[in-house]
Structure 1
Amino acid sequence: MPSAARALTRHRCSPRTRASLPARAALPAALCLCAAWGAVVGAAPGAFAASAQWSIAPAGGGRPSFYAEGPPGTVLQDTVSVTNPGRAPVVVRLSGTGLRTVFAEKAEGGIRVPARTRAEVPFTVTVPAGAAPGDRSGAVVARDTRGRTASVPVRLRVGGPALAALTVEHLAVHADRITYELVNRGTTVLVPRLAVRADGVLGRLLDRAPRTLPVHLRPGARVRLAEPWPDRPALDAVDVRLTVTAPGGAHGTATTSARFVPWPTVAGTSGALLVGTVAVLAVRRRRSRTAAGGPVPERPRGAVVAETPHPRGELTEGAVK
């Protein structure tokens, strides 16, 4: 027998040794399993609750957000689900943002959801009475006692006809500016554009091309604005005309007249003669317009064109630079 074979035969393991080898080889794996199981058994009960956090969603499933549609003044209903898959109860407060939201069950301290339970809470969303047609957004927000929050979007479409209408009111000329008010007489939000003209006895004094005003005018709203005019004439009879337009066909105009006389440098008869001269020139200019077939504006205190009945709007103030 070769020497290698004899060595292998001489060192062959005994039955006792063969039986003990598998157990020794499996010992490290068994120790690892026992350590892992000990970690699981010794874990705090709150570990499962932390790994399975509560959540909110529209009731019924299959919806990523709430959606509602209705005319102004409508009260819409839906239900939110609060799911608690953990082993401990949670207390959640519900609230709404962006829209008027009222929950049917909102006790002091919030809503208690037991472990492994889903709570369904009805709520209502009210469409504002004066809301313009179009889309609005908000959210249902939930917050627990530890400060964790979750939310679901709310999409709201306000129905009704879209009407773009506005008026220009209370037009007046001052020492260095022209003041006026815009009123939204329609049902849509308006971004108006303004054009200004002023004609004196001897010709055009002011001609400003249409430009967009830094205003978003809500339905029923009223805003007071000012148009600067620092280089107005010292002596003239002027007719001022404002034209305002907005997308959707909204259009409004207003005109007024003003007389500029340098009273500090005029006195006595000379002043009366000067005023008379301005008046005569203004009358001649008006007569020439009449002979040419043009319109003769007779609006000593301003006039409003295309004004329509509408409820009183709210008043805000601003200035156009």
Structure 2
Amino acid sequence: MRKPYVLLLPLLLFLTLATPARAADNGSWSVYPVSSAVAARPYFYVSADPGQTIEDKVVVANKTDEPLTFRLYAADAYNTARDGGFAVKSLGEKMRGVGAWAELAKDRVTVPGGAAVTVPFSVRVPAGAEPGDHPGAIVALDERVEQGDGGVALGVQRAVGARVLLQVGGPTLPALAVENVEISHDQPLIPGFGDSTATISYTLHNTGNVTLAPKVELKATGLFGRTLLTRDLKKLPSQLLPGQRVRLTERWRDAPHLDRTDVRLTATAQNTKESATASFVAVPWLVVGVVAAAIAAGVRLAIGRRRRLAGPSRPGERGTARAALTDPPTKTGRRAGA
């Protein structure tokens, strides 16, 4: 009986500082631009006008002792939804930029152990291409599936890609938006008996046509404008690609137990700045409920006490007194002849 496979395609786009290890590398093979006359290049930096064609070469190096065969293809890049990391599309996905415009001289190549193969490619930018950044990669995919253990095997295909940073000539527009800010607040039933934590979720959206390196500041204020928190956020994508959205979260420990809090997120990048706000009310509901119940009980006791002090009313008392006041005086008879 054949075991089902779950196919995963991690595209390892690592960069280091040493040469020639500036290439994207997974320990078994690496992919990098052919060295220029000046120095080795960590990426492909390509600048072209609409309608122009650029020629270049990619190197695939086998770092093992055995020959390896790779499928070569060009791919568009995107930001991962989980953390905004740089990733590229898989073979067979719809391509709109570099993945559609680049053409390699070979789509498969066998590299002997310990050797490297250079493959030419071209990038033909359409006449109607939108100006701005169009990031992508040249990918070397090992089509073999590595089988895992267990009743349901986990199949993994490995790939390495060299980044292509293509900029199409024309007007550039850096623009950034902060969208869909939401806050969830967890606090103990009794203040002081547990942590009060707020989780701020928000979306960073690159609405322009150039790649951005965003920075985000979180500021929280309480009643009467008191500053409760100011923080520069760290869990951000180093490169937010044009048109991409990334959903991010930030935890705030020691959030207020009793306050009305306004949270402002301010995102900045090259020549762009945008803010968004959200609010939440921190209330210890158990304490409020106990206090409300005590007040209600006190009001009932006070009303009952006033009634007891007033005493019971006797029917007819007021009517009797009014009758006594309105009775006519007694007439005395006069003696005859007086």
TM range (shorter): 0.3 to 0.5
Bigger relative contact order, structure 1 or 2 (CA pairs below 8 A, ≥6 apart): 2
TM-score (norm 2): 0.40
Normalised by the size of structure 1, how large is the TM-score? 0.42
Greater radius of gyration (CA): 1
Structure having the higher helix fraction is 1
